[in-house]
Amino acid sequence: MIETVALVVAAGRGHRFGGALPKQYRRLAGRPLLAHCLERLAAHPGIDAVRVVIHPDDRALYDEAAADLALLEPCAGGAERQDSVRLGLDSLAALPGGAPRRVLIHDGARPFPGAAMLERLLQALDSHDGAIPALAVTDTLKRGRAGPAGMPLCGETVPRDGLWRAQTPQAFRLEAIRAAHHALKGEALTDDAALAERAGLAVALVEGEEENFKVTTQQDLARAERLLAGGGASGRETRIGNGFDVHRFGPGDSVMLCGVPVAHSHGLVGHSDADVGLHALTDALLGALGAGDIGQHFPPTDPRWKGADSAAFLAHAGSLLAARGGRILNLDVTLICERPKVGPHREAMRARIAGILGIAVERVGVKATTTEGLGFTGRREGIAAQATAALELPAAGPDGSA
Ligand SMILES: Nc1ccn([C@@H]2O[C@H](COP(=O)(O)OP(=O)(O)OP(=O)(O)O)[C@@H](O)[C@H]2O)c(=O)n1
Ligand SMILES: C[C@](O)(CO)[C@H](O)COP(=O)(O)O
């Protein structure tokens, strides 16, 4: 059952931003803006599922933004943000597996919700009806009044003590915020906490993040581009890992290669299913994470892994990556053997690897080569595999800490 879900509202038309393409689908670092928050939310270990609320006209745009991510089916939004949230909450309450207990309502136009901030929200929600990220106002506040030539004049100075700028995601117990949305339907309020306040719910203010700004105008999109280009807001970095493995031939009539059984005159010898391709890939992922190697995680002396399906090893490396808030950019594995022929199984192997890791098949390469009859692979004594993994992770701190 889904316990905690992120509900991302992305059905707006972006009037203040302007242009024909809604701002959440504009390119940011070459990808739809919406994709940036979706991957961050989907990768957070405290969030079990993500649902996006979209405009019915935007289905193809959404599909591109959500490609590579395993999200719940999107639902349709309404005329105002508040309508979109309410419809999204209703759709969650009707999930076939039962209603989630907690919901994090997020603007699809805020591309950079940070993992630490999400953690603060979830923790605060343990002891409150709701929790929102916010930043204390630090500038002096002025109320403007109409001036000559269209330029406003200072009206009065508004005390800033106790004032906060509210951000999203705004976290709530699902049934409480849903009831508030229904009770206050038709009242124009600009965030979900405003409805919660009116419903008498206790909503905690937790520390927000400057980088978690909303793209409202074209200047905001330019700011987001600058932050990503400087390695700033994204706090993301690229990591590369490689892996290598060998298994010798033994008795048998098939080998397991990249998660696919392939008929052969021999089997491969190993403590697990001896899937040399998945072992090399697992090591490539672990290497990129700086998380040791497959032997440390699954010792060949441990009887639990005898005859094990190596898909579990790769899935484990994938879950370590997800727990760190990372994603796979691409994987590339080369199988080195004279026989069996890999070509006829290549697409099945790519699909299997993609399936184990929940990524698009386009991100997986499977290649094969012989060693021209040379060496142990040339003598058909076994199969070797080497693999490369390119990942994107939250940037390490100056001391290398994640
Ligand atoms: N009917 C609406 C209106 C807004 N939103 C979403 O609510 C978030 C915050 O709203 P805002 O920045 O105001 O977006 P827009 O409504 O698109 O912008 P504008 O007000 O300039 O038209 C955005 O992710 C937007 O897509 C929504 O899901 N449904
Ligand atoms: C929900 C919100 O992003 C919190 O800051 C904000 O209130 C949305 O306001 P907008 O008028 O839709 O920009």
**Least trusted range by pLDDT, from 36-40, 122-126, 214-218:** 36-40
Q: What is the pLDDT of residue 235?
A: 60
- The 10s digit of each residue's pLDDT in 352-386 is 999 999 888 999 999 999 999 999 999 999 999 99
Structural tokens at position 153? 């004049």
> Domain ranges in the chain?
4-229, 236-394
Confidence of residue 116 (pLDDT cuts 50, 70, 90): confident
Q: What is the pLDDT of residue 398?
A: 42
Ligand 1 and 9: CB distance under 6 A: yes
**Which atom, in ligand 2's list, is nearest to the CA of 216?**
13
* Beta carbons within 10 angstroms of residue 2's beta carbon: 17
Q: What is the pLDDT of residue 30?
A: 87
CA-closest residue to ligand 2 atom 8: 190
Ligand 2 and 23: CB distance under 6 A: no
Rg for the chain (alpha carbons), in Å?
25
The answer to whether the annotation marks 301 as part of a ligand binding site is no
Q: Alpha helix (H) ranges present in 25-114?
A: 33-43, 59-66, 81-93
Strand duo 327-336 + 364-369: pairing: parallel
Q: What share of the chain is helix, strand, coil (3-state, %, to 5)?
A: 35, 25, 40
The pLDDT of 191-213, averaged and rounded, is 96
User: One fold for both 4-229 and 236-394?
Assistant: no
Residues 6+ apart with CB under 8 A from 204: 124, 125, 127, 128, 130, 131, 132
The answer to whether the annotation marks 168 as part of a ligand binding site is no
The answer to whether the annotation marks 372 as part of a ligand binding site is yes
Among the bound ligands, the one closest to the CA of 14: 1
Structural tokens at position 148? 């000559």
Q: pLDDT at residue 326 above 60?
A: yes
The more confident residue out of 226 and 162 is 162
Ligand 1 and 14: CB distance under 6 A: yes
The pLDDT of 259-266, averaged and rounded, is 98
- The 10s digit of each residue's pLDDT in 211-252 is 999 999 999 999 998 888 766 554 678 899 999 999 999 999
The answer to whether the annotation marks 388 as part of a ligand binding site is no
The pLDDT of 175-203, averaged and rounded, is 96
In our burial notation (b when 16+ CB lie closer than 10 A, e otherwise), range 121-156 reads: bbebbeebbbbbbbbeeeeeeeeeeeeeeeeeeeee
**How far is the centre of ligand 2, averaged over its atoms, from the C-alpha of 55 (Å)?**
18
Q: pLDDT at residue 350 above 90?
A: yes
**How far is the centre of ligand 2, averaged over its atoms, from the C-alpha of 318 (Å)?**
35
Q: What is the pLDDT of residue 394?
A: 72
Ligand 2 and 165: CB distance under 6 A: no
**How far is the centre of ligand 2, averaged over its atoms, from the C-alpha of 105 (Å)?**
11
- The 10s digit of each residue's pLDDT in 54-85 is 999 999 999 999 997 889 999 999 999 999 99
Ligand 2 and 107: CB distance under 6 A: yes
Ligand 1 and 214: CB distance under 6 A: yes
- ipTM of model: 0.95
Q: What is the pLDDT of residue 126?
A: 96
**How far is the centre of ligand 2, averaged over its atoms, from the C-alpha of 298 (Å)?**
48
Ligand 2 and 106: CB distance under 6 A: no
To test the pocket of ligand 1, the residue of 24, 36, 81, 220 to mutate (highest count of ligand atoms within 8 Å of its CB) is: 81
Residues 6+ apart with CB under 8 A from 391: 238, 239, 240, 241, 285, 288, 289, 321, 326, 327, 328, 329
Ligand 1 and 101: CB distance under 6 A: no
Q: What is the pLDDT of residue 149?
A: 86
Q: What is the pLDDT of residue 229?
A: 73
Which homologous superfamily is 4-229 in?
Spore Coat Polysaccharide Biosynthesis Protein SpsA; Chain A (3.90.550.10)
Q: What is the pLDDT of residue 171?
A: 98
Q: What is the CATH number of domain 236-394?
A: 3.30.1330.50
Name the nearest CA neighbour of 340 among 256, 243, 244: 256
Ligand 2 and 84: CB distance under 6 A: no
To test the pocket of ligand 1, the residue of 8, 9, 112 to mutate (highest count of ligand atoms within 8 Å of its CB) is: 9
**How far is the centre of ligand 2, averaged over its atoms, from the C-alpha of 225 (Å)?**
21
Contact between 185 and 86 under an 8 Å Cβ cutoff? The reply is yes
The mean of the pLDDT values for the chain is 94
Ligand 1 and 54: CB distance under 6 A: no
CA-closest residue to ligand 2 atom 1: 191
Ligand 2 and 265: CB distance under 6 A: no
Ligand 1 and 216: CB distance under 6 A: yes
- The 10s digit of each residue's pLDDT in 131-159 is 999 999 999 999 999 998 889 999 999 99
